Structure 1
Amino acid sequence: MPPLPGLILACALVAGLMPAAGLAAGYQQPSAAVRELLDTAPLPRLLPSPDRQQLALIETRRFSSIEDLQRPTLHLAGTRFDAGSSVAPGVAAIQRLRLRALLQPDAPERVVELPAGGLWHDFAWAPDGQRFLLERRMDRANELWVGDTATATLKPVQGLRLNEVLAQGEKAWLNPRELVVLSVPDHRGPPPRLAPQPITEESRGLVSPERTHPDLLHGPQDEALFEYHARSVLTAVDLVSGSSRDLGPAQLYSSLSSVGDGQYLLTERIARPFSYRLPWDDFPTIVEVRQRDGKLIRELARMPLKGGVAIDGVLPGPRVFYASPTKDAAVYWVEALDGGNPANRVAFRDRVMRLDPPFTGDPQEVQRMPHRFSRLQFLDDGQHALLTEVDRQRAWQRSYLLPLKGTQSKPLFEFSQRERFRHPGSPLMRTLPNGHLVVQTLGGDLLLTGPGASPKGDRPFLDRFSLRDLSVQRLFQSPEGSYETPLAVLEGGRQVLLSRESAAEPPNLALRELASGNSLQALTRLKDNTPQLRKIRREFVSFKRADGVDMSFWMYLPPDYREGERRPTLVWAYPMEYSDAAIASQVSGASNRFLSFNGISPLALLLDGFVVLYDAHMPVVGDLKTVNDGFIEQITMNARAIIDKAEDLGVSDPKRMAVGGHSYGAFMAVNLLAHTDLFKAGIARSGAYNRTLTPFGFQSERRSLWDAKDVYLHLSPLLYAPQIKEPLLLLHGEQDGNAGTPPLQSERLFHALSGLGGTVRLTMLPLEAHGYGARESAGHVQWEMSQWLKTWLGDPREAKEPAKNGR
């Protein structure tokens, strides 16, 4: 296809500054080895049915196409969707679908024939596994199709157009054969077109420290268009007959779930006034409980516009509603006891409330919490839930066993949110016949699984946690030499369903007998789809920085690497904040995992001969309220330790090392170039470089620009542009919708560096968001990164001096 104007413009901007590659018109191709890797079909996704009897093998397209990204897309009220179908852009396209019995490895596969046309996406099992759902995006509709598992046949729900503008993928199961979805109203007419008019905003004394948001509404025309596309109808669907019927008039529904065994519906819908400074999920919201036929029973809450809420604060009234998954059919919600302001000193910050059918009385208080509510997970016993709270000041998490009626809660476990070594794990979940996802219990105990991080690497585990005496019994831990992740417990606790992989074998499903851990039955036999990557060597490397904090990185050596070579090296990192040096020193990862990576991963540079120090640990340790005061000093200390260790290992030449990162990692990389002379070049993708454009906080920073002006200015590498002498490659998606990283961030840094005589290249990727999803974009990004490193560090396969960069 012809090159797109946006990319030509981006390259033309830097034509006079590019010292080696010259002006490149249109999309460029990476090396043949990288192109072959990017074009390799991904392994199928393996999705067992909720009853663990069936298996879906879902083959998706690795990338979107530029033509796909060019479809008309609306950006309204903080959301993006395809104008004709309401589907979010960049949805993963299903190209092939197969079904088979899960526990019978040699059972014949049933191929589901996908009718030609449109884009198939979002496979979902019915709760009993006897049927499944698929969606098909067409030019003017997003269709719902129902599949029969036994026959592997599909049929459409005639006349139904799903509406996913606000509630993407939400479906309320009433039972295994009936569900309620949100659909486009019939006969809604053409989109509105209002006459141009002045747009006015006003603020009168209300303190409203909002973080920066993209894609907001900009006037009455946007409001009318948003309401037109977001309005939907509750529609009941019978999967057996394929029929559907509407349950009342169209509303701005934003959430939908069934209550209990499908006796009721819990709905949320947004209301006016809309905001030009907040996304739609901060708009006024009305929460209601309805009969299963859609008839309103009771309005539960009217949550106001979420404006004027303190940083890290919440609304003062009811918020976060949950529908009970069991026959009691209660509705739960949370209310703040501190006015929603974390600065207020109170004994209890939140409480959980409960309202039982027929929803006519007053709600009852279930539990008070000293810290901010995080989540509620119901157990499959119908009597309890896991209640989790977070102490934001300490970054500390605590979970309780909450009796849903009667007695007080019981503390279970607590840990730092960054904890790796002593993390108790997360509960295994299972799907009930009514479609609700609940915590699985075994004999009244919890089943917890986690990565099992340790100084020697990750070894996933499965524990049985007693809710009576809090004792822990280890049922399973991944053996050395492979990486086995528990997915489900079967046969009354006698077997565990695993995802099993190794350095040489891709992830496959397997079954282990827990009583005799050596008994392993392979359930799938997927083959290595990228054998060329098995020649890559990787090693987990740990060391200490100057103040004694443990650090690490994954050292990747290219396939043709020879012992004793010192090759040009890229350090790729993402900074993380910690309140405690001991927690910061904990590491994670496993050398026995199957190596694969996405299309824009810097690991593809290995195929061009570069050494890559990937996932380099970049800790920033301190009081979380002021941790950024020492950000520059700590990332500098980290970088020095990384370079020294790479030099000690004999694989890297410290004079030929570059630093790079994506998003907050890009922010880190440019700050290292601005404040140190440690690296010879940099790559920054989709980052933020001027913190005055994020004045009400960023990442973990909770202070505003005016509370910590020196910190904001010191952490804005744009203001230190004269100090950036090293060559810098900037990449950014033209449609970046991530809060805090609009394309303007890269454009302004490029303008500053080019105006000051710096060496900089900016490429804006047409139609791309915060990540880059098109095949053309992935190839071009790999070409840009490889060419940049070859230009400024030297070709790793040629014995020559790197280009001079003026230092």
Structure 2
Amino acid sequence: MIGSPLPLLTGGARRTLVAGAVLAPVLVPALASAQTTYQQPPAPIARALDAEPLPAVSVSPDRKWLLHLRRRGLPSIEEVGAPEMRLAGLRLNPRTNGGSRDVSFTGLSLQAVQGGGSTPAMRAITVPGATGDVRMGTPLWSPDGKRIAFTVTAPTAITLYTADIPASASGPAVAARRVSALALNATTGSPCSWVGNARLACLTIPAGRGPAPKQSEIPTGPISQESEGKAAPNPTFQDLLKSPADEKLMEHYLTSQVVLLGLDGSATKLGAPALRTRVAPSPDGQWLLVETTHRPYSYLVPLGAFPSLAEVWDLNGRVVRKLDDSPLDEQVSRRFDQVSPGPRNMSWRADAPATLAWVEALDGGDPQTKADKRDAVKTLAAPFAGEPTVHAQLEWRGGGITWARSDLALVTENWRRTRKTRTWAIDPSNPAKAPRLVFDRSSEDRYGDPGRFETAPNQYGRQALLTTKDGRFAFLGGAGASAEGDRPFIDRYELATGKTERLFRSAAPFYEEPVAVLDPEAGVVLTRRESTTEVPNYWARTVAGSAQPRQLTFFKDPAPQFAGVTSQLVTYKRKDGVDLSATVYLPAGYDKAKDGPLPFFLWAYPLEYGSAAAASQVVGSPYRFTRPTGASHLFLLSQGYGVMDNPTMPIVAMNGKESNDTYVEQLVSSAQAAVDKLVEMGVGDRERMGVGGHSYGAFMTANLLSHTNIFRAGIARSGAYNRTLTPFGFQGEERDYWKAQQLYTEMSPFTYANRVKTPILLIHGMADDNQGTFPIQSERYYAALKGNGAKARYVQLPAEAHGYRARESIGHTLYEMVTWLDRYVKPKQEKATAM
């Protein structure tokens, strides 16, 4: 009854009521929270967000064509927020049976590499009958380069199309044609692969599958899990199976029928429907590597750790050999040199008709086990009888293999703990022959990186080592990190002696990156060139002689309103002597003498290093073309802010300590040095500094606001703030919570929520899929900040994952960032009281 007096309470009941009354003042202010409509950022930012992105480019296997892939602009929240199934670590669109967040394209066009002029001839590839915004998947070139295959996603299905490559760049549009009306199953990735040049092996939705199973609204009983005493130190995976109903849904959506689709319209079913996760044809098109997931499933790990059967099939669907049946793996964390005990990275050898290759652990996959050799490289050739051939036994973990020819392959091994990497040359035709060391280096040493060996499609259409016709030379391409910034290069490498000859190195005022070697004999290289004022475009460059490079594409500036922005690569020192670097951006039209110091925003992401020398190496280039995209912090340049982009925040292992043992001290020192540099340059106002970051950069931001008063405001997007919620390691930290409780506590900004006096904006996607940044991280951190009286704002973005995609979400994120900084950083006023 309204107005009735409270009854007399005693004992436990009375204490309960008192406790509730004490909590009430904390709970009531939460009612001020409200859902608002999406807001637009300032006009210059909004216009840039709505501009069409520059096309992507794919090179044909014969190096005669450039395929332009017209990229989609930002999708709408209606698309991003459409229904999706989250099962076993996957996110699926139940309407199309594909990934709910897959990349797609809106148009394809062909350009001849040998074409010329400022308006090169282009031939569009059209999809007859398609209406509206066509969604094309990433095209696959046939091995002979005479056609492409791609998927088209309609509202309720994904189907396969092909288009023939014309003889000439001049002429009408090329009409693609649908190969089959069969609906493809793209839940685990690209559903089709070429089998020779006239067929594709595809995963399709089984005929008569029926509707998805419906979950009863009435529980049938509790859901139980049980540990049998075996350690399972796994990361905090998201989107895992949670119930028997989820298991049934996963089986419904992932069950596929393997079908050979011929360009002549034929469709041959192979095997029975099952949870097929991969179908990979052999280079000669005579065999299929088929991987199938099966029970028992797990509620602790995603699909990749479920039991998986690997088999070789012939083209009639007959199982020729069972290669491996890996069990459910809940005990391996996949971190820091720990791997599965069985075969891994199984694939076809690129330079052979039908030979499978893989790496297999010799130490059970446990890096703590003492072992002289830890991994073995193995192969098994058709007809897949007998025992595999062991080609090399490695001291560390096997990495990539670049296949070249019958007597040459390049094998890389790595050991994360020591940050070491080595490359060996082996002779596949003579397994008894000792490997020859090619490179032995620190994986952290960017300056000493010799580059990656260049590959090109061979007669099978597979990527194999690119060499000159006589087999004498290979090619190396790399970022060319140096004290003056990144200067990409291409080297010629003599395979017999290991001697290198520099053919090309990017030079000021350009940043020019080799993309592909078009002609190894003539030394013609495809590059992507840009400068601070020139849009990235593709060029054909002859690296020998004095011939001028030839421009192939003529892409226009997608956001001319940002023209005039200037950038500078700067270096400076931390107080402990570690060299740091950053790129400083200044707004268009800024004049230091006239305008004075600017309000500045620093955007960073800390990285761990094993040595100060590696941490001190310069990162970036002063010659990049700057046009912000997505939710980029660089949009702030249009609002009167200077931006310091990627000021290095190295966390270095020093004086016998692990890197994170002095995380806070090193972080604060790096931030202070960055601000001091801006002030020294005369462009930054020390009293108007903001800081921000995404993911681990958000974690950094919260820590800086907990332990310093350097900044006027912070922006933390999609971060983790309580490390006890990621107890089995994070980033480069190998120790778990129970081995380093004090470290986990001291590194967690949540611990120091009561010390934050600087305004902080938290933004988080409500569907975050990153294994360490569940949305509860921001939710609980905001509650701690609010409970301790901090100035904080928490913005939740519906339907967004770890990275934001929707036009509405990105526009609103930038609106929030500009509004927050305009409120707390831009005004010329005194900073908050010192801590």
Corresponding residue for residue 265 of structure 1:
288
Corresponding residue for residue 568 of structure 2:
539
2:351 partner amino acid: T
Corresponding residue for residue 474 of structure 2:
446
Report SS of the residue matched to 2:176. Answer: strand
> Given the superposition, is the C-alpha separation of residues 491 and 314 from structure 1 closer, same or farther in structure 2, using an over 3 Å criterion?
closer
Q: How does 1:118-133 map to 2 (within 5 A)?
A: 119-124=134-139, 125-133=141-149
Residues 459-482 of structure 1: per-residue CA shift (max 9 Å, x gap): 111011122111111111123222
2:452 partner amino acid: S
Corresponding residue for residue 314 of structure 2:
291
Whether 2:269 is the aligned partner of 1:246: answer yes
2:342 partner amino acid: G
Whether 2:117 is the aligned partner of 1:101: answer no
Structure 1 residue 525: Cα displacement: 1.7
* Alignment RMSD: 2.0
**Distance in 1 between residues matched to 2:407 and 2:382, nearest whole Å:** 16
Corresponding residue for residue 675 of structure 1:
707
Is the 8 Å Cα contact of residues 698 and 717 (structure 2) preserved in structure 1?
A: yes
> Given the superposition, is the C-alpha separation of residues 320 and 46 from structure 1 closer, same or farther in structure 2, using an over 3 Å criterion?
closer
Report SS of the residue matched to 2:514. Answer: strand
Report SS of the residue matched to 2:36. Answer: coil
Corresponding residue for residue 588 of structure 2:
559
Structure 1 residue 785: Cα displacement: 0.5
Is the 8 Å Cα contact of residues 92 and 187 (structure 2) preserved in structure 1?
A: yes
Residues 679-708 of structure 1: per-residue CA shift (max 9 Å, x gap): 121100000001011011111111110011
Structure 1 residue 743: Cα displacement: 0.7
Whether 2:190 is the aligned partner of 1:169: answer yes
Structure 1 residue 119: Cα displacement: 4.1
2:125 partner amino acid: V
Residues 250-276 of structure 1: per-residue CA shift (max 9 Å, x gap): 121122212231121112111110000
Whether 2:698 is the aligned partner of 1:666: answer yes
Q: How does 1:380-391 map to 2 (within 5 A)?
A: 381-391=405-415
**Distance in 2 between residues matched to 1:499 and 1:451, nearest whole Å:** 13
Report SS of the residue matched to 1:500. Answer: strand
Whether 2:247 is the aligned partner of 1:223: answer yes
Q: How does 1:344-493 map to 2 (within 5 A)?
A: 344-379=369-404, 381-406=405-430, 407-442=433-468, 443-444=470-471, 445-493=473-521
Structure 1 residue 315: Cα displacement: 2.1
**Distance in 2 between residues matched to 1:803 and 1:370, nearest whole Å:** 55
Q: How does 1:27-66 map to 2 (within 5 A)?
A: 27-66=38-77
2:145 partner amino acid: G
Corresponding residue for residue 614 of structure 2:
583
Corresponding residue for residue 144 of structure 1:
160
Corresponding residue for residue 803 of structure 2:
771
2:316 partner amino acid: D
Structure 1 residue 237: Cα displacement: 1.9
Is the 8 Å Cα contact of residues 462 and 475 (structure 1) preserved in structure 2?
A: yes
Is the 8 Å Cα contact of residues 174 and 434 (structure 1) preserved in structure 2?
A: no
**Distance in 1 between residues matched to 2:457 and 2:628, nearest whole Å:** 30
Q: How does 1:200-215 map to 2 (within 5 A)?
A: 200-215=224-239
Report SS of the residue matched to 2:515. Answer: strand
Whether 2:94 is the aligned partner of 1:83: answer yes
The one of 347, 362, 367 equivalent to 1:342 is: 367
Structure 2 gap ranges (5+):
1-27, 167-172
**Distance in 2 between residues matched to 1:492 and 1:611, nearest whole Å:** 44
Structure 1 residue 667: Cα displacement: 0.5
Is the 8 Å Cα contact of residues 76 and 222 (structure 1) preserved in structure 2?
A: yes
Moved more, 530-539 or 722-731: 530-539
The one of 278, 294, 316 equivalent to 1:255 is: 278
Report SS of the residue matched to 2:447. Answer: coil
**Distance in 2 between residues matched to 1:806 and 1:788, nearest whole Å:** 21
Structure 1 residue 531: Cα displacement: 2.3
Q: Report which of the two structures shows the higher radius of gyration computed on alpha carbons.
A: 2
Residues 560-609 of structure 1: per-residue CA shift (max 9 Å, x gap): 42214111111110001110111111112222222123220100001011
The one of 299, 313, 322 equivalent to 1:276 is: 299
Corresponding residue for residue 68 of structure 1:
79
The one of 92, 110, 113 equivalent to 2:126 is: 113
1:438 partner amino acid: A
Report SS of the residue matched to 2:702. Answer: helix
**Distance in 1 between residues matched to 2:649 and 2:831, nearest whole Å:** 28
**Distance in 2 between residues matched to 1:723 and 1:803, nearest whole Å:** 16
Structure 1 residue 453: Cα displacement: 1.1
Report SS of the residue matched to 1:289. Answer: strand
Moved more, 274-283 or 672-681: 672-681
**Distance in 2 between residues matched to 1:96 and 1:261, nearest whole Å:** 31
> Given the superposition, is the C-alpha separation of residues 91 and 353 from structure 1 closer, same or farther in structure 2, using an over 3 Å criterion?
closer
1:178 partner amino acid: R
> Given the superposition, is the C-alpha separation of residues 267 and 496 from structure 1 closer, same or farther in structure 2, using an over 3 Å criterion?
same
The one of 813, 822, 825 equivalent to 1:781 is: 813
Q: How does 1:489-568 map to 2 (within 5 A)?
A: 489-494=517-522, 495-564=524-593, 565-568=596-599
Structure 1 residue 805: Cα displacement: 7.5
Q: TM-score, normalised by structure 1?
A: 0.94
> Given the superposition, is the C-alpha separation of residues 72 and 60 from structure 1 closer, same or farther in structure 2, using an over 3 Å criterion?
same
Structure 1 residue 505: Cα displacement: 1.5
Structure 1 residue 14: Cα displacement: 7.3
Structure 1 residue 611: Cα displacement: 0.9
**Distance in 2 between residues matched to 1:435 and 1:263, nearest whole Å:** 14
Residues 717-766 of structure 1: per-residue CA shift (max 9 Å, x gap): 11110011110000000100011101110010111111111110000001
The one of 626, 629, 649 equivalent to 1:598 is: 629
**Distance in 2 between residues matched to 1:805 and 1:306, nearest whole Å:** 53
> Given the superposition, is the C-alpha separation of residues 252 and 24 from structure 1 closer, same or farther in structure 2, using an over 3 Å criterion?
closer
Residues 449-502 of structure 1: per-residue CA shift (max 9 Å, x gap): 011111112211101112211111111112322222112223343111211222
Moved more, 181-190 or 692-701: 181-190
2:477 partner amino acid: T
Is the 8 Å Cα contact of residues 121 and 135 (structure 1) preserved in structure 2?
A: yes
The one of 192, 208, 212 equivalent to 1:191 is: 212
The one of 640, 658, 671 equivalent to 1:639 is: 671
Is the 8 Å Cα contact of residues 428 and 487 (structure 1) preserved in structure 2?
A: no
Structure 1 residue 138: Cα displacement: 1.9
Moved more, 650-659 or 619-628: 619-628
2:742 partner amino acid: D
Q: TM-score, normalised by structure 2?
A: 0.91
Report SS of the residue matched to 2:805. Answer: coil
Report SS of the residue matched to 2:136. Answer: strand
Structure 1 residue 83: Cα displacement: 0.8
**Distance in 2 between residues matched to 1:219 and 1:371, nearest whole Å:** 39
**Distance in 2 between residues matched to 1:14 and 1:48, nearest whole Å:** 55
> Given the superposition, is the C-alpha separation of residues 794 and 480 from structure 1 closer, same or farther in structure 2, using an over 3 Å criterion?
closer
Whether 2:325 is the aligned partner of 1:302: answer yes
Report SS of the residue matched to 1:215. Answer: coil
Is the 8 Å Cα contact of residues 54 and 129 (structure 1) preserved in structure 2?
A: no
**Distance in 2 between residues matched to 1:170 and 1:500, nearest whole Å:** 34
Moved more, 111-120 or 185-194: 111-120
Is the 8 Å Cα contact of residues 527 and 538 (structure 2) preserved in structure 1?
A: yes
Moved more, 288-297 or 95-104: 95-104
Corresponding residue for residue 6 of structure 1:
none
> Given the superposition, is the C-alpha separation of residues 636 and 782 from structure 1 closer, same or farther in structure 2, using an over 3 Å criterion?
same
Structure 1 residue 13: Cα displacement: 7.9
> Given the superposition, is the C-alpha separation of residues 383 and 183 from structure 1 closer, same or farther in structure 2, using an over 3 Å criterion?
farther
Corresponding residue for residue 7 of structure 1:
none
Percent identity (aligned):
39
Report SS of the residue matched to 2:41. Answer: coil
Structure 1 gap ranges (5+):
1-11, 18-22
Structure 1 residue 414: Cα displacement: 2.3
Is the 8 Å Cα contact of residues 467 and 520 (structure 2) preserved in structure 1?
A: no
Corresponding residue for residue 3 of structure 1:
none
**Distance in 2 between residues matched to 1:742 and 1:517, nearest whole Å:** 56
The one of 708, 733, 743 equivalent to 1:701 is: 733
